[in-house]
Chain A
Amino acid sequence: MATLQTTADRFGDYFVNPKHVGVLAEANAIGAVGALGYGDAIKLMLRIDPASERIEAARFQSYGCSALIAAAAAVTDMIIGQSVAEVQHISSADIAEFLGGLPAERMYCAVLSYEAIQRALAAYRGEREAATEPTLCKCFGVSEAVAERAIRSHQLTDPHQVTQHTKAGGGCCGCYKDIETVLARVNAAMVSAGELRAVQAYRPGSVPPSGIERKPRGDSPPPLGARAAVPSHITMAPRPAPVAAAMPRMKLPPAESRDRGTPEQYAQIEQAVQSVRPTLQRDGGDCELVDVDGSAIYLKLSGNCVDCQLASVTLSGIQAQLIEKLQRPMRVVPVS
């Protein structure tokens, strides 16, 4: 019980009185994960001494629940004074354990903190972001690679565990089958490597999705004039504006006034847009770069993306990915 008590306090300490909060001006390695639209984000800033390859200083910023703040704060304490080689080997399971465990539905906080470390180290080594990591979950921008690392680190064998550890499938859940596929593939590899017993490996279809409907898809009401007028003696609360379609479409500013940036910047944006298309195409959608104006990227969505109820979610997902690839704030504007 004594250890339990200590670790329980540790979680509270890191959440209530986190150390190493804020911007590290002299950072030479930054790892940023998550986005406002996903509900979680961590920015981990490290000062690594190039001679000794030791973490001299670390600071963090995080946006999310208590467990995410605690995990990010704990990570700074875990790595300060350690060598790059040592930090490289800290797993997300180590982070969860350091905090005395996390509730099942908060395990993604340890995974996200781990990914922040890895990104910071990759940035230190001067590695560019992997070209296009296939996206598993659009709602929360979870890549297959992140899911695979979580499956291995935490020995996951159930799709619902993958959701708890990465948030993949915790939104529209349209990716459930993809989660099953990735889980089965990784489990099979783990079995071959002797890291998992064959009976434990996941077989697609063996665990159903939660199956509890939360809210109806709903039906849009019939068009105006479809039924008799309502008696005039009934007065109503102020009428709101008509409900917009699933996604507002904007008009482009005149061509001559658009700021496309340097040709290199424009090409970079073009390339970044190309790289998000396969994800959309997998769901029968697509997008096309129309133009750029300063920080605004004008995109034309097509196929299933048009009128999709989740179009705004998709857009924030695309935006987050573009921001990440371009490493500067950009705004995605849909145009028709």
Chain B
Amino acid sequence: MTMSANSHVYLDANATTALDPRVLEAMLPYFTQQFGNPSSKHGVGETAANAVRRARAQVQKLLGADKPTEIVFNSGGTEGANAAILAALEAAPRRREIIISAVEHPAVLALCAYLEKHKGIRIHVIPVDRHGWLDIDAYRRALSDRVAVVSIMWANNETGVIFPVPELAELAKEVGALFHTDAVQAAGKLPIDLKATEIDMLSLSAHKFHGPKGVGALYVRDSVRFKPQIRGGHQERGRRAGTENVPGIVGLGAAAELAAAHFDDEQTRVRALRDRLERGILDQVDHAVALGAAAERLPNTSTIAFSFIEAEAAVMLLDRAGIAVSMGSACSAGSFEPSHVLVAMKVPEAALRGAVRFSLSRHNSDADIDRALAAVPGIVAKLRAISPFGAEEGAPVALG
């Protein structure tokens, strides 16, 4: 089954995924016939409340959470990470330090930069090595009873590298710090069993596993003293006020159930597709390296850094060839710096701006990989023919 927009081969699942038609089907009634407010006492409201209850159980099951009440619905990963970190700081006002990794998503990085600058919170940024592995010694040294919360992602969005989050959470527990994980890329792709871990909070987003955009969930262990960021009504047991996004929540629940049913497919067929794509490209293209390939990675992600070219140009040419991929985080408005993840992994200068991310989902087929393999080597060769830089001389690479 190939899901595609305008006959594009879509290999950008870490950005977002297509809504599964079965998820859409589950959502549709809640826009029209079952439009009730879950807080209402009448039957229309009751139906909506039941739908939200069912979705909560579906997400609970996906995460292996102990109780359904530990699931708080929200707008997605960014809100989840913000709410978790801020709640942790409020819960332990005397603890004024946070530990994060150098490769966190901007949802965590930008919040911590703000807290550091404006609230005087000390931020420990744990480095990674060139394989993307976390420096566990540095993490241990940063832990102390001054740390309010550790927020370390389960899997990296740019490279797919998986961190040993359950073990990191155990270490945090030793010093009484709360542990939050941004699992936006891991949830729905990897089996997770929270009740067997010391993880206190976890963020996820529905649209990364064929659910709708703008809806997600924050797992909050029942023992956590959680202070809400959005105050108002009693929805989500006071932890996230505002009338529930019922169709979205229903979609999240349905997507969670389908994702769990496809874990095997992800680990076998999708992984095989990814491996074939990666090997195929590396076999045909010199001076290319798969980032984080020596570490444990998500089965769907392959980020390949091509020396001597700029990824944006490759992404644009691939787009014209009908293949949708993305680059290691794009130049954003006002910044021309290369991806912080690639910088943290000390990717050599020649390849630092040449990383192209291929991320697959269960909607991809063998034919998709064939098309990508037919296009990528030629496009890289074309850009290298334009580039003044090359490998013939070895370092240093210079004009002149």
Contacts and interface: CB of A to CB of B under 8 A. Distances in A.
B142 interface: yes
Given A18-B386, A236-B167, A237-B133, A221 B138 contact: yes
Contacts of B127: 243
Contact of A237 (B134, B334, B387): B134
A35 B398 contact: yes
Of B126, B134, B397, chain A has the most CB atoms within 10 Å of the CB of B397
A331 B398 CA distance: 9
B124 A235 contact: no
Interface residues of B, number: 73
A235 B171 CA distance: 11
Contacts of B393: 329
B141 interface: yes
Contact of B336 (A32, A170, A218, A239): A170
A170 B337 contact: yes
B117 A213 contact: yes
A21 B398 contact: no
Contacts, number: 191
A240 B133 contact: yes
A215 B340 contact: yes
B389 A140 contact: no
B283 interface: no
Interface string A302-334: 000000000000001001100110011111000
Contact of B164 (A42, A217, A236, A320): A236
B116 A217 contact: yes
Interface in B113-154: 113-117, 122-129, 131, 133-144
Contacts of B117: 213
B248 to A, nearest CB: 28
Interface in B61-95: none
A168 to B, nearest CB: 10
B311 to A, nearest CB: 9
Interface string B372-386: 000000000001011
A36 B112 CA distance: 31
Contacts of A219: 122-125
B167 A235 contact: yes
A62 interface: yes
A241 B129 contact: yes
A39 interface: yes
A167 B126 CA distance: 29
Interface residues of A, number: 70
A69 B386 contact: yes
Contacts of B353: 39
A65 interface: yes
Contact of A212 (B110, B174, B336, B387): B110
B336 A39 contact: yes
Given A227-B140, A237-B136, A323 B400 contact: yes
A301 to B, nearest CB: 18
A221 B137 CA distance: 9
Interface in A183-235: 210, 212-219, 221-224, 226-227, 230-231, 234-235
Interface stretch (B49-57, B218-226, B313-321): B313-321
B336 A240 contact: no
B285 interface: no
Contacts of A240: 128-129, 131, 133, 135
B347 interface: no
A197 B176 CA distance: 62
Contacts of A242: 135, 137
Contact of A331 (B133, B310, B395): B395
A236 B309 contact: no
A251 B26 CA distance: 66
Contacts of B295: 237
B5 interface: no
B60 to A, nearest CB: 27
Contacts of B385: 21-22
Contacts of A39: 310, 336, 338, 353
Interface in A255-299: 295
A189 to B, nearest CB: 26
Nearest to B295: A237
Contacts of B313: 15, 64-66, 69
B295 to A, nearest CB: 7
A126 interface: no
Contacts of A331: 395-396
A171 B336 contact: yes
A82 interface: no
Given A221-B126, A227-B140, A215 B113 contact: yes
A61 interface: yes
A124 interface: no
Interface of A: 12, 15-16, 18, 21-22, 32, 34-37, 39-43, 61-66, 68-69, 105, 139-140, 160, 163, 167, 170-171, 210, 212-219, 221-224, 226-227, 230-231, 234-243, 295, 316, 319-320, 323-324, 327-331
10 contacts: A36-B389, A63-B309, A63-B389, A64-B313, A68-B310, A170-B334, A214-B335, A222-B142, A226-B141, A330-B396
